[in-house]
């Protein structure tokens, strides 16, 4: 259901409720796309307070409509855990209490047109790092063998809270201003591991599939001494990444730095100082931060 339909529906419910006379101001602000659901209408208490007292004579359809927004499903959907600040403290176990299906459900054995999943193979799936059968997106990023070695993502690495009703900013004067259009997760996060290989910044003559051979397809040939202060963020396993690359070569590095590029750009990585780095900052790096995003910093990540 898209946000507009959703709002239209709520508007109608609001009007019906206004007509039966049990309408509260809380509820109205909700139908206007309240910016911070957590603040005004998300907690079960707030919802109870906002729940219209249905007159005993109200027709059945109106009662049904009224319960939709105040029942357990509605409350769970607007549970404060979905939003700031509560989401910052949520553990995976907290989220999985209600969303176990994101890890348990399986991909279809065949597409509706009949193509078996065992007969499809994207080129990146031929890489040595890609193990096992097709999995769902969530499984690939949380439970697949390769990701479990190199990364330590949790639900909140990607999910930072989104407004399920109003998915685009600017739909009304008081709508939230920080929504990533129609996305539950900010794609900038994905870009970190799914961007293009930034060979220009490395002084390499061409993309890795052309220039790699000259370097034995081994990133570490250079990166054993260049930009060595890397990956010290809470969603990556820095030590295991280096082990992987030492044991299995450039594919494991390249996978996250061009090998699975869903985007046409690459992420402007922070440029951490490293031992042996000269004082001159190349032009392309002039605007780069020198630390990882605060949100992802872990203890011991400072040089």
Choices 15-23, 33-41, 87-95, 112-120; region in contact with ligand HEC by CB under 6 A: 87-95
Q: CA-based angle 261:122:138, to the nearest 5?
A: 70
At its nearest, how many Å lie between ligand HEC and the CB of residue 256?
3
The verdict on 115 binding ligand HEC (CB under 6 A) reads no
Residues numbered 117 to 136 that lie near ligand HEC (CB under 6 A) are 129-130, 135
CB neighbourhood size of 157 (10 A): 20
CA distance 87 to 83: 5
Do residues 149 and 272 make contact, with C-beta atoms less than 8 angstroms apart? no
Residue 53 or 71: the one with the smaller Cβ distance to ligand HEC is 71
**Least distance (Å) from ligand HEC to the CB of residue 15?**
24
Q: What is the DSSP letter of 280?
A: P
CB of 290 to ligand HEC, least distance (A): 8
Closest contact distance (angstroms) between CB of 3 and ligand HEC is 9
- In the bound state with ligand HEC, the residue whose beta carbon lies nearer, of 59 and 205, is 205
Question: Phi first, then psi: what are they for 151, rounded to 5°?
Answer: -135, 160
Shortest distance in whole angstroms from residue 195 CB to ligand HEC: 9
- Token pair, residue 147, equals 């990701």
- Count the residues of the shown chain that bind ligand HEC, applying the rule CB under 6 A: 81
Stretch 206-225 residues interacting with ligand HEC (CB under 6 A): 208, 215, 219, 221-223
CA distance 99 to 184: 15
Q: Which residues, numbered 266-285, are part of the site for ligand HEC (CB under 6 A)?
A: 269-272, 282, 285
- Selected from 34, 58, 66, 233, the binder of ligand HEC by CB under 6 A is 233
Q: Which of 47, 162, 176, 196 binds ligand HEC (CB under 6 A)?
A: 162
Identify residues 19-78 at the interface with ligand HEC (CB under 6 A).
73, 76-77
Asked whether position 157 contacts ligand HEC by CB under 6 A, the answer is yes
Whole-angstrom distance, CA of residue 185 vs CA of residue 159 = 6
Paired with 297 in beta bridges are 233
The nearer residue to ligand HEC, 58 or 233, going by C-beta atoms, is 233
Which one among 29, 226, 243, 298 touches ligand HEC, defined by CB under 6 A?
226
Question: Cα torsion for 74, 76, 80, 86, to the nearest 10°?
Answer: -160
Helix segments in the chain, DSSP class H = 3-20, 25-31, 37-40, 44-50, 60-70, 72-77, 92-99, 101-104, 137-142, 145-150, 155-158, 187-194, 208-211, 220-223, 238-248, 250-254
- Counting every residue, how long is the chain? 303
CA–chain centroid gap for 105, Å, is: 19
Nearer to ligand HEC, 18 or 217 (CB): 217
Q: Which is nearer to ligand HEC, 164 or 170 (CB)?
A: 164
Query: Under rule CB under 6 A, which residues in 88-107 are in contact with ligand HEC?
Result: 90, 92, 94-99, 102
Q: Which of 32, 63, 79, 171 forms a contact with ligand HEC (CB under 6 A)? A: 79
């Amino acid at each position: 259901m898209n946000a507009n339909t959703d709002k239209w529906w709520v508007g109608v419910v609001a009007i019906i409720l206004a007509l039966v006379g049990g309408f509260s101001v809380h509820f109205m602000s909700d139908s206007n796309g309240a910016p911070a659901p957590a603040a005004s209408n998300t907690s079960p208490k707030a919802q109870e307070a906002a729940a219209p007292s249905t007159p005993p004579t109200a027709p059945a359809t109106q009662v049904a409509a009224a319960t939709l927004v105040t029942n357990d499903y509605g409350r769970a959907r607007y549970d404060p855990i979905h939003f700031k600040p509560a989401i910052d403290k949520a553990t995976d176990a907290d989220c999985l209490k209600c969303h176990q299906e994101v890890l348990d459900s399986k991909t279809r054995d065949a597409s509706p047109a009949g193509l078996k999943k065992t007969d499809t193979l994207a080129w990146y799936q031929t890489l040595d790092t890609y193990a096992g059968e097709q999995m769902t997106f969530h499984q690939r990023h949380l439970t697949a063998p390769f990701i479990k070695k190199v990364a330590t993502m949790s639900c909140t690495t990607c999910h930072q809270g989104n407004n399920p009703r109003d998915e685009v900013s600017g739909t009304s004067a008081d709508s939230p201003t920080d929504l990533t259009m129609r996305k539950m997760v900010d794609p900038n996060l994905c870009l970190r591991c799914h961007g293009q290989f930034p060979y220009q910044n490395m002084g390499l003559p061409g993309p890795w599939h052309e220039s790699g051979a000259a370097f034995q397809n081994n990133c570490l040939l250079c990166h054993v001494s260049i930009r060595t202060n890397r990956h010290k963020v809470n969603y990556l396993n820095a030590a295991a990444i280096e082990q992987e690359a030492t044991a299995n070569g450039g594919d494991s590095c390249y996978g996250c730095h061009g090998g699975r590029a869903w985007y046409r750009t690459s992420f402007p990585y922070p440029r951490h100082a490293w031992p042996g780095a000269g004082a001159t900052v190349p032009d392309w790096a002039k605007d780069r931060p020198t630390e990882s995003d605060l949100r992802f910093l872990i203890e011991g990540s400072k040089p």
